[in-house]
C-alpha cells in the first residue's frame, strides 16, 4: 500500500473522566472530541488504527455486576472486557463517522472485536497491577479491600483504585483482518481495552481472566502492521523525570535505550507512565521508527509543534 500506517493509543479516561456524569451523551461528546484530533494524522497521509483503553468503563461495569450479584450471575473478567470493547467501539465508530463527514473526508470505519492471546502461566496472574474503575478515598478503599477482597493501590497521587492482573499480549488473533481493512482505506478501531484475553485450551481458544494493557497491545499491533508512527496519548504534554517533584523536568526526545534505563531506575510507575514507555520501547526495538507520547487533547500541537515526547530507536 502507498499510505503509511499510524497506530494511536488512548486511555478510556479520554472518554470518561473522574467527575463526569457517565451518561452516554457525555461520553459521546468526548469521543467526538478525541476523534477530531485524529484528523490531523489522516491529513498527514496516514491510515489509522485506533486502540482505546477501557479502565474507567470496565471498572464501572464490574461494579454493576457486583451490585446485581443477588439476581444475576457475575460473568468472568474477559466478558466484561468484551462488553466494554463493543460499547466503546460502537461509540467511537459513530464519533469517527461524524467527524469524517464534518471534514468531507471519504473513509470507511470498522470496529474489530479483538481477541488477544496471553500465556495462562504469565507471572502477572500472581501480581495485580492494572488500575480499573473509579478513584476512591482511602476510607472507601480500605472498606472495599475488607468487604470485597479487592486489590487496591494508590494511583499517582490521584486517589485509590482497584487493580487486576494484566498478562502480556502475545498475539492479536484478527491481525490479518485488521491489516486488510487498513489496506483498504478503513479507519480501524481494534484492540479495545487491550483486547479480550484468551488462551489456547486443549482443543480451542478459551477466554481467560485479566485486563491487558492497551499500550502493550497497541505496540504489538504497531510493529506487526509495520506502522511508521506510533502515538500514545495520555494526560500530560510530555514525559517527565522526577514527576511531581520539585526537580521535575520534561523530556522532548530520548532513545529507546535511554527510556529503558530510566524505566529500570524507577522513573516511570507501573500503573501510569510505565506501560506507555514499555510500549514505545518495544515498538522501537522491533523495527519501529518513532513513538510519540503526547496529551490526548493536543494532538495537533504535538504533530505541528513537537509538543510531545519523541522516542526513537
What range does the domain containing 146 cover?
Answer: 130-164
Q: Which CATH number fits the domain that encloses residue 208? A: 3.40.1160.10
Regarding whether 145 and 111 lie in a shared domain, the answer is no
pLDDT tens for 230-263 read 999 998 889 999 988 899 999 999 999 999 999 9
pLDDT higher than 90, residue 173:
yes
**231: Cα separation from own chain's centroid:** 11
In a domain, 123, yes or no: no
Regarding whether 193 and 103 lie in a shared domain, the answer is yes
Rounded Cα–Cα distance for residues 151 and 148 (Å):
9
When the pLDDT of each residue in the chain is averaged and rounded to a whole number, the result is: 90
pLDDT higher than 70, residue 1:
no
Regarding whether 83 and 208 lie in a shared domain, the answer is yes
In a domain, 92, yes or no: yes
Find the mean pLDDT for residues 2-30: 85
pTM above 0.85, yes or no: yes
Regarding whether 159 and 59 lie in a shared domain, the answer is no
Regarding whether 107 and 136 lie in a shared domain, the answer is no
Find the mean pLDDT for residues 202-214: 86
Element holding 277 (H helix, E strand): helix 273-285
Regarding whether 18 and 141 lie in a shared domain, the answer is no
Regarding whether 263 and 201 lie in a shared domain, the answer is yes
If one counts the domains in the chain, the total is 2
Regarding whether 244 and 95 lie in a shared domain, the answer is yes
Strand 115-117's sheet: what is its strand order? 171-172, 115-117, 196-200, 205-207
Alpha helices in 44-156 (DSSP H): 55-67, 77-102, 138-148
pLDDT higher than 70, residue 225:
yes
Regarding whether 147 and 177 lie in a shared domain, the answer is no
What pLDDT score does 19 carry?
74
Interior/surface letters 234-246, b for 16+ CB within 10 angstroms, e for the rest: bebbbbbeebeee
Tell me the catalytic residues: 12-13, 130, 214, 276
Q: What is the DSSP letter of 89?
A: H
Amino acid at each position: 500500500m502507498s499510505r503509511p500506517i499510524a497506530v494511536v493509543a488512548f486511555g478510556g479516561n479520554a472518554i470518561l473522566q473522574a467527575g463526569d456524569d457517565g451518561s452516554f451523551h457525555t461520553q459521546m461528546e468526548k469521543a467526538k472530541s478525541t476523534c477530531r484530533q485524529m484528523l490531523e494524522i489522516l491529513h498527514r497521509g496516514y491510515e489509522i488504527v485506533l486502540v482505546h483503553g477501557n479502565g474507567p468503563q470496565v471498572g464501572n461495569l464490574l461494579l454493576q455486576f457486583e451490585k446485581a450479584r443477588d439476581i444475576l450471575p457475575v460473568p468472568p473478567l474477559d466478558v466484561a472486557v468484551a462488553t466494554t470493547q463493543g460499547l466503546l467501539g460502537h461509540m467511537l465508530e459513530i464519533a469517527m463517522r461524524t467527524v469524517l463527514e464534518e471534514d468531507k473526508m471519504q473513509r470507511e470505519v470498522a470496529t474489530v472485536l479483538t481477541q488477544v492471546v496471553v500465556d495462562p502461566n504469565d507471572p502477572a496472574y500472581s501480581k495485580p497491577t492494572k488500575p480499573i474503575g473509579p478513584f476512591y478515598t482511602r476510607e472507601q478503599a480500605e472498606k472495599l479491600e475488607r468487604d470485597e477482597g479487592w486489590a487496591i493501590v494508590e494511583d499517582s497521587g490521584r486517589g485509590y483504585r482497584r487493580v487486576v492482573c494484566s498478562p502480556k499480549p502475545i498475539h492479536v488473533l484478527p491481525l490479518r483482518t485488521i491489516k486488510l481493512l487498513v489496506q483498504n482505506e478503513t479507519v480501524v478501531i481494534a484492540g479495545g481495552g487491550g483486547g479480550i484475553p484468551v488462551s489456547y485450551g486443549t482443543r480451542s481458544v478459551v477466554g481467560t481472566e485479566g485486563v491487558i494493557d492497551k499500550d502493550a497491545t497497541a505496540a504489538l499491533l504497531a510493529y506487526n502492521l509495520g506502522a511508521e508512527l506510533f502515538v500514545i496519548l495520555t494526560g500530560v504534554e510530555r514525559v517527565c523525570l522526577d514527576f511531581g517533584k520539585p526537580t521535575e523536568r520534561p523530556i522532548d526526545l530520548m532513545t529507546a535505550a535511554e527510556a529503558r534505563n530510566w524505566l529500570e531506575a524507577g522513573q516511570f510507575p507501573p500503573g501510569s507512565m510505565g506501560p506507555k514507555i514499555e510500549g514505545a520501547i518495544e515498538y522501537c526495538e522491533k523495527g519501529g521508527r518513532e513513538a510519540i507520547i503526547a496529551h490526548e487533547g493536543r494532538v495537533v500541537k504535538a504533530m505541528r509543534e513537537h509538543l510531545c515526547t519523541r522516542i526513537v530507536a
